[in-house]
Chains A and B, each alone.
Chain A
């Protein structure tokens, strides 16, 4: 089993290192030929505008979409969540539209509002440290999307930050920047289940 990490831009090395540490083979994916060789894909943190645009320019967008529709498991963190989603609430950018959710980019604010917090994730025995960097949150989810964790904004509104829709897993934050491998293990279990 080989897990690809989309390596156009962003923290793809951290994802690959974390996956290797839990026993996966990984390759960096930059072309549709690379994508053909993988059983699952991680779309890393980075700049979603840049990743979406480069994926389109280099012919990866349609390839990723059709693989995902065929059932390839995908895990997206932060920018990866935005690329997976169906729409953003603030402007158009290339998206796969495979995750039935509306995301708000930079929902918590700009970099000075970026933060670390301890959150509970359904299915995990203890809370995890979540690093939110210019992070998105989810405004609305479709019926097939399961919300595994949410955070409150300063007005008391609750916003999903970890969601799963069948073989698609997405987080607003960056587990790959910590040493907590539990969400990556959850993703690997999705691959093994297929």
Chain B
């Protein structure tokens, strides 16, 4: 029989793709060759972008959506879903990415924001993922239509400390909400600066209504497993793969550590002889003005 009026772009369908990515690793790639390498290593999706965060940091300038020709090549090269980054607030970059057929858009602080307002993501058929440092930020993005959340971390540093801080903050705020009684919900919404209906939902379910991945500074198999044990649903690796030694082996090791995140022996085994991880920048040495996580809030 014919489906009765198929509903495309529903919340269920948008959030559903993120459900399918869980337990997996999504890797930043800048061309078809890297995309193929990521797919062969076991990535469950790839993220198309102009430059990886470590290069954006090193080279400076305005970071924009990738050349559509590169994104099209990446789409043609792999069978796994292709995500692509747009600048915060740049709804025309997002319109272009949707027209290219990308499967998810990351409205990302890694690129240079163009507006203090984020994109109205409800008006798109393609789903969006957005970064968050805490629960209020996550619920604001979900209120705007984000169908998936990730920690912001501090991209391009190779230092996982900020991603850890963001997931711990979010977890503790979710736990706090579940202790409130009905009289306290509105004030909590005010404190979090988050939509009341979403605050109420999280208070009653004890979890975000969308999938939540880790991102920002993950560069070793142990980093990935750490974020999984802290309760993330999956892993984004940005600069961590292609800025370290042995990208193929490192990528496969991060994938294995994400699947077997509670098996220390196995994580230890895949961590052997990977060579140097990305050189990295210690968070303490990074001036506040250079923090990407403070873009958008």
Interface membership of B260, Cβ < 8 A: yes
Q: Which of B3-25 contact A (CB under 8 A)?
A: 3-10, 12-13, 16-17, 19-24
Cβ–Cβ contact A131 & B3, under 8 A: no
Chain A binder among B40-48, B161-169, B198-206, B276-284:
B40-48
Cβ–Cβ contact B42 & A152, under 8 A: no
Cβ–Cβ contact B19 & A45, under 8 A: yes
Contact partners of A118 in chain B: CB under 8 A = 3-4
Q: Which residue of B lies closest to A117 (CB)?
A: B3
Contact partners of B101 in chain A: CB under 8 A = 110, 112
Q: Which of B240-255 contact A (CB under 8 A)?
A: 252, 255
Cβ–Cβ contact A133 & B8, under 8 A: no
Q: How many residues of B contact A (CB 8 A)?
A: 41
Q: Which of A115-136 contact B (CB under 8 A)?
A: 115-120, 130-134
Min CB–CB distance B45 → chain A (angstroms): 7
Interface membership of B58, Cβ < 8 A: no
Q: Which of B26-59 contact A (CB under 8 A)?
A: 39-40, 42-45
Q: For the complex, give the distance between the alpha carbons of A79 and B1 in Å.
A: 23
Cβ–Cβ contact A9 & B1, under 8 A: no
Q: Which residue of B lies closest to A44 (CB)?
A: B20
Find the residue from A111, A130, A134 having the highest chain B CB count within 10 A.
A111
Cβ–Cβ contact B8 & A115, under 8 A: yes
Cβ–Cβ contact B4 & A117, under 8 A: yes
Cβ–Cβ contact A30 & B259, under 8 A: yes
Give the interface residue-count category, chain A: 35 or more
Interface membership of A14, Cβ < 8 A: yes
Q: Which of A99-118 contact B (CB under 8 A)?
A: 105-106, 110-118
Cβ–Cβ contact B10 & A150, under 8 A: no
Contact partners of A89 in chain B: CB under 8 A = none
Min CB–CB distance A115 → chain B (angstroms): 4
Cβ–Cβ contact B13 & A47, under 8 A: no
Cβ–Cβ contact B16 & A50, under 8 A: no
Interface membership of A194, Cβ < 8 A: no
Q: For the complex, give the distance between the alpha carbons of A63 and B111 in Å.
A: 45
Contact partners of B12 in chain A: CB under 8 A = 116, 131, 177
Cβ–Cβ contact A9 & B16, under 8 A: no
- Among B4, B6, B43, B126, which residue has its beta carbon within 8 angstroms of that of A111? B126
Cβ–Cβ contact A110 & B79, under 8 A: no
Whether A115 touches B13, Cβ cut-off 8 Å, given contacts A9-B259, A50-B24, A105-B79, is yes
Whether A115 touches B6, Cβ cut-off 8 Å, given contacts A9-B44, A47-B81, A134-B81, is yes
Q: For the complex, give the distance between the alpha carbons of A13 and B125 in Å.
A: 26
Contact partners of B8 in chain A: CB under 8 A = 112-115
Interface membership of A71, Cβ < 8 A: no
Interface membership of B185, Cβ < 8 A: no
Contact partners of B40 in chain A: CB under 8 A = 53
Interface membership of A86, Cβ < 8 A: no
Whether A131 touches B16, Cβ cut-off 8 Å, given contacts A11-B22, A49-B39, A50-B44, is yes
Give 30 CB contacts A-B under 8 Å.
A9-B23, A10-B23, A11-B19, A11-B20, A12-B23, A14-B19, A30-B260, A46-B24, A46-B44, A47-B20, A47-B80, A49-B79, A50-B24, A57-B252, A58-B259, A78-B20, A106-B79, A111-B126, A112-B125, A115-B13, A116-B7, A117-B3, A117-B6, A131-B13, A134-B17, A134-B20, A134-B81, A150-B1, A151-B2, A177-B12
Q: Which residues of B contact A (CB under 8 A)?
A: 1-10, 12-13, 16-17, 19-24, 39-40, 42-45, 79-81, 98, 101-104, 125-127, 252, 255, 259-260
Report the 4 A-B pairs with minimum CB-CB distance, sorted nearest first: A117-B3, A115-B6, A111-B103, A152-B2
Q: Which residues of A contact B (CB under 8 A)?
A: 7-14, 30, 45-47, 49-50, 53-54, 57-58, 78-79, 91, 93, 105-106, 110-120, 130-134, 150-152, 174, 177
Apart from A54-B259, A133-B20, what 5 extra A-B contacts exist at CB < 8 Å?
A: A47-B45, A57-B42, A116-B10, A131-B13, A152-B3
